[in-house]
């Protein structure tokens, strides 16, 4: 925290890590008051629940979290992840990022994040359903369409969203489709939500390429991660004429400088459960993928992939952060020094929550849009956000992450001011 500011928060040891450690220079440039800093430095609500689940008569205890970081601009919004290493402090950082993300793209939501400490690969679908339902019973009073709205995140998908919806509706004894987004079409979802993170990112990427005067045909892209976001990104990029040369999943990656046949690769992954072994491609590790010779690098897996060890060797001209927080701060600085354009997560992957916003509007109004309308609005929201961030970047000779954070922080604080909290 800035040396000019003395901390006055009562719970100094439990402040949001990301917020108080990494944004110092931004706060200084924004010249925030102590009260403004205080308001940003801790989540509004942190819930940790311990709940029992019975598997074949044996009880196991699980731990889940839900952090609502800030809801000055609207109900808080953010995914639920299942991960064995989930920690509440990281959930809090991710909730803060969600608040920033919703503000960057100017949609009326605050930020939240949640999850359960569990390795979904070790459970079958029935057990995962029991865990999800028990978690929702435990946090059910804290979520709701005008309170806090969950969505998919790492290792959670449409089926998990259905269990969330059904359990919540059982608790409330009525239909409440807007309580969760990322649902299947038949239960109030929208088709585009499945790929809105990837497509939104690609809209923004194409704006960036225009600025750098790079054309689409033949542009070589490496995609790290082949979950929902990575797979859809690879597939859309391939359809639009990019050359997807490398891809990876948690077991490792593959590369072919002539380009991968992405639809065939998706089939291969479905049949074999892994990308490696794909005909005509060479196996590489996840680390090698990040450093491969390409024009655009798309980290679409977990956090902290780019650090001071590898950032100096990245060859891409543009990095599109489709994952949340894939770049450590020290790597950020190296990319700036090397004039690599980094499109930060809060802008690059915001298409997911924008898709969620459209789903939520349609659920609330019980009025469903034509798919073209969804895509048109997604493109408008994403390109407007890019333009605003890029304009500030140019004006201040700054970088995109800084510009995006500044825009978001100003918007959140303005909402707090209007509410009389500042």
Summarize as ranges the residues that interact with ligand GLU (CB under 6 A).
77-79, 151-153, 181, 324, 349, 352-353, 356
CB of 229 to ligand GLU, least distance (A): 9
How far is residue 343's CA from residue 354's CA, in Å, rounded to a whole number? 17
Contacts of 420 (CB under 8 A, 6+ apart): none
Q: Which is nearer to ligand GLU, 197 or 256 (CB)?
A: 197
Q: Which is nearer to ligand GLU, 78 or 177 (CB)?
A: 78
CB of 62 to ligand GLU, least distance (A): 20
Q: Could you give the 3-state DSSP secondary structure of residue 328?
A: coil
CB of 195 to ligand GLU, least distance (A): 13
Q: What strands lie across the sheet with 220-224, from one edge to the other?
A: 282-284, 252-255, 243-249, 220-224, 296-299, 318-320, 341-343
CB of 76 to ligand GLU, least distance (A): 9
DSSP state of 312: G
Q: Which is nearer to ligand GLU, 275 or 350 (CB)?
A: 350
Cα torsion 131, 135, 138, 143 to 10°: value is -150
CB of 153 to ligand GLU, least distance (A): 4
Active centre residues (catalytic): 113
> What are φ and ψ of residue 311, in 5° steps?
-60, -35
Q: Which is nearer to ligand GLU, 96 or 390 (CB)?
A: 96
In the Cβ-directed half-sphere of 181, how many Cα atoms lie within 13 Å? 29
How far is residue 101's CA from residue 350's CA, in Å, rounded to a whole number? 6
Q: Which residue is nearest to ligand GLU (CB)?
A: 79
Cα 414 to Cα 12, 96, 242, 360, 406: the distances in Å are 24, 16, 40, 24, 12
Of 193, 229, 180, nearest to 358 (Cα)? 193
Q: Which is nearer to ligand GLU, 91 or 151 (CB)?
A: 151
């Amino acid at each position: 925290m800035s040396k000019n500011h003395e901390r006055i928060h009562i719970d100094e040891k439990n402040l949001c890590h990301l917020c108080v450690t990494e944004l110092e220079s931004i706060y200084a440039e924004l010249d925030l008051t102590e009260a403004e800093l205080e308001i940003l430095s801790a989540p509004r609500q942190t819930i940790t629940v311990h709940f029992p689940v019975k598997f074949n008569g044996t009880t196991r205890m699980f731990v889940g979290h839900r952090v609502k970081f800030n809801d000055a601009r609207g109900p808080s919004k953010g995914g639920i992840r299942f991960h064995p290493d989930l920690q509440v402090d990281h959930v809090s950082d991710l909730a803060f990022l969600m608040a920033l993300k919703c503000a960057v793209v100017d949609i009326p939501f605050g930020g939240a994040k949640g999850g359960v400490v569990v390795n979904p690969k070790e459970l079958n679908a029935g057990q995962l359903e029991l865990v999800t339902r028990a978690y929702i019973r435990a946090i059910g009073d804290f979520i709701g369409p005008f309170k806090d709205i969950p969505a998919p995140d790492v290792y959670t998908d449409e089926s998990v969203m259905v269990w969330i919806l059904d359990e919540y509706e059982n608790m409330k004894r009525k239909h409440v489709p807007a309580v969760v987004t990322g649902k299947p079409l038949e239960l109030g979802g929208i088709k585009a939500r499945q790929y809105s993170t990837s497509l939104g990112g690609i809209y923004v990427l194409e704006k960036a390429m225009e600025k750098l005067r790079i054309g689409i045909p033949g542009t070589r892209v490496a995609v790290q991660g082949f979950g929902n976001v990575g797979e859809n990104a690879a597939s859309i990029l391939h359809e639009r004429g990019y050359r997807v040369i490398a891809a990876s999943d948690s077991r490792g990656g593959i590369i072919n400088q002539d380009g991968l046949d992405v639809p065939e690769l998706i089939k291969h992954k479905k049949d074999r459960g892994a990308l490696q072994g794909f005909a005509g491609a060479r196996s590489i590790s996840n680390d090698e993928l990040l450093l491969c010779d390409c024009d655009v690098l798309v980290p679409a897996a977990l956090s902290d992939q780019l650090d001071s060890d590898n950032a100096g060797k990245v060859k891409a001209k543009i990095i599109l952060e489709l994952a949340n927080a894939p770049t450590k701060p020290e790597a950020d600085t190296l990319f700036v020094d090397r004039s690599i354009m980094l499109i930060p997560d809060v802008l690059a992957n915001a298409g997911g929550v924008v898709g969620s916003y459209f789903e939520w509007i349609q659920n609330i109004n019980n009025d469903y849009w034509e798919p073209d309308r969804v895509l048109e609005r997604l493109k408008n929201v994403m390109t407007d956000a890019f333009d605003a961030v890029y304009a500030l970047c140019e004006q201040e000779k700054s970088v995109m992450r800084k510009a995006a954070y500044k825009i978001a922080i100003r918007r959140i604080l303005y909402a707090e001011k209007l509410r009389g909290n500042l």
